[in-house]
A and B are shown apart, each in its own frame.
Chain A
Amino acid sequence: MVVVVTAPFHAPAPEWSHVYRDVLPMHLLETILLLGGTVLLTVVIGVLSAWLVAAYSFPLRGAMRWMLVLPLALPTYISAYTYASLFGATGTISLWVHDLSGFRPDIVGLPGLIVVMALVLFPYVYLPARAVFASGLREQLEAARMLGARGSRRFLRVAVPLARPAIVGGAVLVAMETLNDYGAVKYYGIRTLTTAVFRSWTGLSDLGSALRVAILLLLLVVLLLWWERRSRIHRQQATDAVPMVRQRLTGKRAALATIWCLLVLVSGFLLPAGKLLLDAFTIDRTDTWAIDLIALRNTLGIATGAAFLTLLIALFLVFILRHERKSWTHGLVRAATLGYAVPGAVIAVGVMTAAGTIDRQAGLSFTLIGTIGLLLYAFTVRFLAVAVQPLQGSLTRQHSNVDDAARMLGASPGRIFLRVNLPQLRPAILAAAMLVAIDVVKELPLTLILRPFNFNTLSTRVFEMARIEQLREAAAPALLIVLCVLPPLLFLDRQLARSEG
Chain B
Amino acid sequence: MRPLLLLLPFLSACGTPGAAPTDDTPAKEVNVYSHRHSDTDAQLFKAFTAATGIRVNLVMADDDEVLTRMEQEGANSPCDLLITSDAGRLGQARMRGLLQPIRSAELERNIPPFLRDPDGHWFGLTMRARVFVYNKNKVRPEQLTDYNDLVRPEWKGRVLVRSAENLYNQSLLAAMVAHFGTETALAWATGITVNMARTPKGSDTDQLLAVAEGIGDVAIANSYYVGKLMSSSEPEKAKARENLAVAFPHMGPYGTHVNVSGAGVAKSAKHLAEAIALLEFLVGEEAQRLFAEGNKEYPVRPGVAVADVLQRFGELTPDTLDLAQLGLNNATAVKLFDKAGWR
Contact = CB atoms under 8 A, between A and B. Distances in A.
Let me know if chains A and B touch directly in the complex, using CB atoms closer than 8 Å: yes
Contacts of A84: 202
Interface in B301-343: 330-331, 334-335, 338-339, 343
B286 to A, nearest CB: 19
Interface string B44-77: 0000000000000111111111001101111011
Contacts of A23: 338
A297 B13 contact: yes
Contacts of A297: 9, 12-13
B21 to A, nearest CB: 12
A366 B75 CA distance: 9
Contacts of B198: 89
A272 B339 CA distance: 37
Contacts of B69: 352, 369-370, 449-450
> Which of B11, B42, B69, B343 has most chain A Cβ within 10 Å?
B69
Contacts of B73: 356, 359, 367, 369-370
Interface string A352-382: 1101100110001111011010000000000
Contacts of A95: 213
Given A90-B209, A95-B213, A304 B9 contact: yes
A201 B67 CA distance: 11
A188 B38 CA distance: 24
Contacts of B170: 203
A302 B71 CA distance: 25
B236 interface: yes
Contacts of A343: none
Contact of B62 (A15, A202, A364): A202
Contacts of A291: 38, 42
B231 interface: no
Interface residues of B, number: 62
A8 interface: no
B16 A454 contact: yes
Contacts of B68: 201, 207, 349, 352
B64 A369 contact: no
B15 to A, nearest CB: 9
A186 B165 contact: yes
Contact of B7 (A207, A308, A360): A308
Nearest to B6: A304
A61 B77 CA distance: 56
A323 interface: no
A451 interface: yes
A223 B131 CA distance: 47
Contact of B17 (A104, A204, A433, A453): A453
Nearest to B65: A449
B290 to A, nearest CB: 15
B205 interface: yes
A191 interface: yes
Contacts of B200: 189
Given A367-B76, A452-B59, 19 more contacts: A15-B335, A90-B215, A108-B201, A109-B199, A195-B165, A202-B62, A203-B165, A203-B331, A207-B68, A297-B13, A352-B69, A356-B71, A359-B76, A365-B76, A366-B78, A372-B17, A433-B6, A453-B31, A455-B17
Interface of B: 3, 6-14, 16-18, 31, 37-38, 42, 57-65, 68-69, 71-74, 76-78, 92, 163, 165, 170, 198-206, 209-210, 212-213, 215, 225, 236, 330-331, 334-335, 338-339, 343
Interface of A: 15, 18, 22-23, 84, 88-90, 92, 95, 98, 104, 108-109, 186-189, 191, 195, 198-199, 201-207, 291, 294, 297-298, 300-302, 304-305, 307-308, 345, 348-349, 352-353, 355-356, 359-360, 364-367, 369-370, 372, 433, 448-455, 460, 464, 468-469
10 contacts: A18-B335, A90-B213, A92-B236, A308-B10, A355-B72, A356-B73, A369-B69, A448-B62, A449-B69, A453-B59
